[in-house]
Amino acid sequence: MKASEQSKVRTWAFTLLRVAVGWHLLYEGVVKLTAKNWTSAEYLRDATWMFADTFRRLADSPEMLRVVDLLNVWGLTLIGLALVLGFLTRLSAGLGAVLIALYYLSNPPFIGLQGMAGEGSYLIVNKNLVEIVCLVVLLLLPRTWMYGIDHLLAAFRGRRKLAADAGAGGPAQVPCTASEDVPPPRRQLLKHLVGLPILGAFGFSVYQKREYDSLEEKYLIEAGADGRTSATLKSFSFSRLSELKGTMSFGRIGNLKVSRVILGGNLVGGWAHARDLLYVSDLVMAYHSDERVINTFRLAEKCGINTFLTHPKLLRIVRKYWHAYGGRIQFISDCGGADLHEAVRLSIDGGAHACYVQGGTADRLVEEGRFDEIRRALDTIRSHGLPAGIGGHRIKTVRGCVEEGIRPDFWMKTLHHHNYWSARPGEKDNDNNFCLEPDETIALMKTLDEPWIAFKVLAAGAIRPQDGFKYAFESGADFICVGMYDFQIVQDVNIAAEALANTAKRSRPWRG
């Protein structure tokens, strides 16, 4: 390839790089500019590295947040526009590199330090770092190595200089090479204005995208589709974090500060309790990828839920959330499994904040009169400085432990009413009734001084949260453990906050 051909290929290659980066930044800016109530607050609060405290302070200050939002929106828009046109390329590339470096530093993909789960898998190098490198390259390149307005302006300045020197009787000019600032031929003018048709294509693409989104929304409204009755799901009510109405209240279990609503782990672990719909558990597990679970934890924490309760086999994903994503959610282990004491040891070694004898296990041990097994488990848990609890589906499990003088640091006991069509109270083998004696449970728990976490308050989805939460808190539960999909968390927290604010009928004092 001749030198002139190599020069053309090089010029087009770097022009394409500049335009591609500019297109991305411009679209990021336009989306934020046209979005309703866009803010960088959530991104700032997700910061995980050395400047995390600074970023969070910016998010917590309304005045500073407005400045940050304006800098983000207009910075991305103007830098992207300049890069597409090839105007003030060095300045734009430098400012763009600084701006994206702030994004990178807020959530760097370092080992043991990862922020909000997103698309792709990264280790040290992510798309932000790649774009920073591209911008630095553009910053250092000669302006004549790219087609654009900068090159055009340089050429005109060179032409004026030649004319000025000739008019002043200066020395004869030596012919210039292609790499110098010389006037481009007229036929090359369009090459330097290549950004204009690209901007036209950008504007048309944005228009088409907005038209598509508007048309899709129009069809949804006219069709009246909803997520409960439509055979083909076209719309879904996913409550966003911005719709959170209040703050979560807290109580104490031992030395732990625990949110009144605890995130349950059955759905995450695939225990769907869907009765004869055997495929549902597999469907739930397929939905809950690691990324989905991580984002569920993060959303729960943002809504004020600070505790997750489940089987020790889910310690893997909890520890991943703690160590790889900087999560802080507390873990209460039910110590479920074939060997109670091995499950206790596994839970403690895994970093559980509290442990209890799982309800099914405690029911069986009480039925068999093996109270010493329960005592031994509680002693082991307490010897490591952790709150120790006892679970139970049956009222006689709690009553039996109390009669034997076994008093845990907290109770886990099922509670729900029977006012739903599939409850069928009195049927011994009914698999849709998890609290056979709700009135007896309420009466017994009222006499106990230990905190009480009520679970199965929705009877595995048979009772609406508005009803189940209110019933549990009014009946004396200090905390409720509820399995939730990510799209239910904001709505459930709002419902729980309302229920907690209206407990005038509650007769049992708050414990913990």
Q: Is the pLDDT of residue 336 over 80?
A: yes
| Average pLDDT value over all residues in the chain | 85
Q: Are residues 257 and 391 in the same domain?
A: yes
CA dihedral in degrees (105, 111, 112, 118; nearest 10)? 60
In one-letter notation, the amino acid at residue 336 is G
**Residue 283 falls within a domain, yes or no?**
yes
My answer on whether 261 and 119 are in the same domain is no
Q: What is the pLDDT of residues 178-199, one digit of tens each?
A: 444 454 566 667 788 888 889 8
Does any domain span residue 171?
A: no
- Give pLDDT, residue 212: 65
Q: What CATH number should be reported for the domain holding residue 493? A: 3.20.20.100
CA-to-CA dists, residue 460 to 83, 85, 296, angstroms = 55, 58, 19
Helix (H, G, I), strand (E, B) or coil at 397: helix
Residue 137: the pLDDT is 95
Give per-residue pLDDT as tens, 442-458: 999 999 999 999 999 99
Range 341-360 average pLDDT: 96
- Band of residue 235 on the pLDDT scale cut at 50, 70, 90: very low
Structural domains counted in the chain: 2
Token pair 């001084």 in the structure block, residue: 449
> Could you give phi then psi for residue 261, rounded to 5 degrees?
-105, 125
Task: Classify residue 196: in a domain, yes or no.
Answer: no
Same domain, 359 and 484: yes
Same domain, 125 and 272: no
Q: What is the pLDDT of residue 221?
A: 46
pLDDT score, position 331: 96
Paired tokens of 478 = 């200090």
**Cα 322 to Cα 48: distance, rounded to the nearest angstrom:** 12
Give percent of the chain with pLDDT exceeding 70: 85
Domain shared by 398 and 282, yes or no? yes
Full domain range(s) for residue 79: 3-146
Domain shared by 259 and 127, yes or no? no
Whether the Cβ atoms of residue 135 and residue 91 lie closer than 8 Å to each other: no
Q: Do 122 and 269 sit in the same domain of this protein?
A: no
- Kindly tell me if the per-residue pLDDT of 232 is higher than 90: no
Residue 323 has what pLDDT?
A: 83
Element (H, E) at 113: none
**Last-in-domain residue among 125, 146, 167:** 146
Check: CB of residue 327 under 8 Å from CB of residue 348.
Answer: no
Model pLDDT for residues 99-145, shown as the tens digit of each residue: 999 999 888 888 766 555 455 677 889 899 999 999 999 999 988 88
Residue 118 has what pLDDT?
Answer: 53
pLDDT band at residue 161 using 50, 70 and 90 as cut-offs: low
Q: What's the rounded mean pLDDT across residues 310-333?
A: 90
Nearest Cα to 9, choosing from 197, 153, 182, 145? 145
